[in-house]
Structure 1
Amino acid sequence: MKTRTPLFIHLIFWFFVCCTVLPLLLVFMVSLTDEMTIIRNGYSFFPAKISLEAYRYLFLDSFTIIRAYGVTILVTLTGTGMGLCLTALLSYPLSRRDFPFQKPLAFFIFFTILFNGGLVPWYLVFTQLVNVKDSVWGLIIPGLLLNGFFVLIMRTFFATSIPMAIIESAYMDGAGEFRIFAQIVLRLSTPVLATIGLFYTLNYWNDWFNSMVYINNSKIYSLQYLLNRILLNIQFLVQNTRNNHASEQIAAMPTETVRMAMAIIGIGPIVLAYPFFQKYFIKGLTVGAVKG
């Protein structure tokens, strides 16, 4: 017999949906609003005057935006794939109670979550020893490629969701460790792989700090850093022209609407990617978060 969900549960979920969707809709509508209308009337879901000036300004040099998109997509796909491989390869031994260095290695990973060496040593290691400055690897490796928190989530999933009896049966059939890992463990771990993959994707897509620290070559700027530079340039020009009583055309550059247009441009592809991970997301996160 089917039970009906109480009405207040539906209302609660609709409330949270509105809290999520309405701000995004407001950002989109503001990005389509005339700058002077924003200054006079403030933000509105129903702008008095529609304008595409913000998008026109951003795409004055469309090739630069497209190139930054390409760099960010390449970095996101490469970093997510490599991060998932390294995370799985480290998490699986930690989930095995017969692994001799399980506890010391788990403590070391947990320690890296709580403490770090600071910005200066971090910068010197990746520029002097690893030498990733002004290369795509500078957007992939530092601080993003392997995350201790993700390792602990995946380790717990392996320990609680992969029956040891299956692994023992595979041993009896003559399978080695790598074959068990590749053909059994990974195939049973789609939820946690999709969840951690989504986390890595979000981290790489939204990252701008590595570009600021390691990249001087404008041809390999990430999308988020490029958009941030555009906004800073607009603010600098507007502020200085107002102080110097320069031309009204420069002083009236679209500051607020460009900020919102950048948000829409930046989140577009990542919003489209979420539905592919969604059906695995909750299961992978909740199972992997239970203490093993």
Structure 2
Amino acid sequence: MIKESLPDRLLKSLFYLTIGLFSVYCLLPFWSVVASSFASEASILKNGYTFWPKDFSLDAYKMIFSDNTIYRAYGVTTFVTVAGTVISMILTSALAYALSVKSVKYRNHIAFYVYFTMLFHGGLVATYLLISKYLDMKDTIWVLIIPSLLSAWNMFLLRNFFASIDDSIAESAKIDGANDVYILFRIILPISLPALATIGLFYALSYWNKWFDAVLYINDKDLYPLQYLIQRIMNNLDYINQISADVSIPNFIPPAMTVRLATTVVTIGPIVLLYPFLQKYFVKGLMVGAVKG
């Protein structure tokens, strides 16, 4: 074991200190949002945002969780995120692998067709007519999943990663009698975990934050996703603020600011907890020794 010199240890300590301070700097605003969400509206208006609630209150969370609607919205968003991410990863991986294999005929033409969709699309009106009238997916949970199943950008990112894998890995498997499906799921995907984790996180964030599709296609309250429900709550609060400004109500302060902070915590909390589980896959060197000697 090589012993580090004093300058090396000092430099490493400086790096750790810098990264630690930067991490604290990034976490402080988030902690301020969480702490302020547990403060009363009057305290926020008087003292502003703080790192510790001076007047502890759960009024904002009571308003958000006042009925079972928020729990149904959580269930809808969770299902859309999980199912959409899994199906999207399967389709994206299959297409990316097919376009990365040099022996596939017309792969460049297919890649150009996919790339073309990144530059031009039919627009909102054509998309709305296609989904609501011709596909008849309005007021179904699948309208939040199927139109977003494949992202051309994510597909190209994954294709470039697959193309960087040594061809001899797949060739050696084919010599042993493996087909392309076996090679993809048993060889290529296991050594592509860093790329899969990254693309999967992109898809999960996209599905978790989906709300505009609900505005267009969802009228059933039982199918409201979380983000859209939160938006409706905020719109209702704005209306209450307007009423309270026109009609003076003694000792009544609508919890507008604290509800905004509480909704931030409610919506981003679960997806933030996903990062520690994916972080272990953001490593390199998984292909070392994968080529048969």
TM-score, with structure 2 as normaliser: 0.89
Q: Which amino acid aligns with 2:181?
A: F
Report the equivalent of 2:289. none
Q: 1:100 to 1:48 in 2, by over 3 A?
A: same
Which of 38, 51, 64 is 1:45 aligned to?
Answer: 51
Structure 2: how far apart are the matches of 1:19 and 1:121?
45
Among candidates 231, 236, 254, match of residue 234 of structure 2? 231
Aligned to 2:109: 104
Once residues 127 and 151 of structure 1 are traced to their aligned partners in structure 2, the CA distance between those partners, rounded to angstroms, is 26
Quote the residue 1:160 is aligned against: 164
Runs of 4 or more consecutive aligned structure 1 residues displaced over 4 Å after TM superposition:
none
1:89 equivalent in structure 2: 94
Does 2:119 correspond to 1:114?
yes
| Contact persistence 2:32–2:52 (CA under 8 A) | no
Letter of the 1:255 counterpart: A
What is residue 290 of structure 2 aligned with on the other side? Answer: none
Aligned to 1:247: 249
User: 1:264 matched to which residue of 2?
Assistant: 265
The structural deviation recorded for 1:7 is 4.1
Q: 1:215-272 deviations in whole A, cap 9, x for unaligned?
A: 00010100111111111101112212312x15346x5110000000011111121122
The yes-or-no answer on 1:213 pairing with 2:216 is: yes
Counterpart CA distance in 2 for 1:153 and 1:282 is 17
The question of whether the paired residues in 2 share the 8 Å contact of 1:192 and 1:283 is answered with: no
Task: Please name the residue that 1:289 is paired with.
Answer: none
Q: Within 2, Cα distance between the matches of 1:216 and 1:130?
A: 17
SS in 2 for 1:189: helix
Q: Does 1:59 align with 2:61?
A: no
SS of structure 1 residue aligned to 2:241: helix
Structure 2 matches for 1:120-135, cutoff 5 A?
120-135=125-140
Q: 1:98 to 1:131 in 2, by over 3 A?
A: same
Question: Partner letter of residue 42 of structure 1?
Answer: G
1:147-183: CA deviation from partner (whole Å, max 9, x where unpaired): 111101110111102x211211222222222222222
Q: Identity of aligned pairs, percent? A: 43
Deviations 1:162-208 (A, max 9, x none): x2112112222222222222222222222211211111111111111
Aligned equivalents of 1:236 and 1:283: distance in 2?
A: 52
2: CA distance, partners of 1:271 / 1:283: 23
Q: Does the 8 A contact of 1:76 with 1:205 survive in 2?
A: yes
Name the aligned partner's letter for residue 26 of structure 2: T
Which deviations, in whole Å up to 9, do the C-alpha atoms of 1:50-70 show, x marking residues without a partner?
Answer: 111111111111x11111111
User: Does the CA contact (< 8 Å) of 1:28 and 1:261 recur in 2?
Assistant: yes
Q: Any gaps of 5 or more consecutive residues in structure 1?
A: 285-292
1:78 aligns with 2:83: yes
CA distance in 2, matches of 1:68, 1:281: 31
Q: Match of 1:290?
A: none
Give 5+ residue unaligned stretches, structure 2: 286-293
State the alpha-carbon separation in 2 of the partners of residues 283 and 207 from structure 1: 31
Aligned-pair distance for 1:23?
A: 1.0
1:118-151 residue CA offsets vs partner (Å, 9 max, x unmatched): 2111211111222211000111122x21111110
Q: Tell me the number of residue pairs that the alignment of Structure 1 and Structure 2 aligns.
A: 279
TM-score for the superposition, normalised by structure 1: 0.90
Q: Offset of 1:6 from its aligned partner? A: 3.6
In structure 2, what residue type is equivalent to 1:81? Answer: V
* Amino acid in the other structure paired with 2:102: R
Matched, 1:275 2:281: no
Task: Please say if 1:26 is aligned against 2:32.
Answer: yes
Moved more, 20-29 or 178-187: 178-187
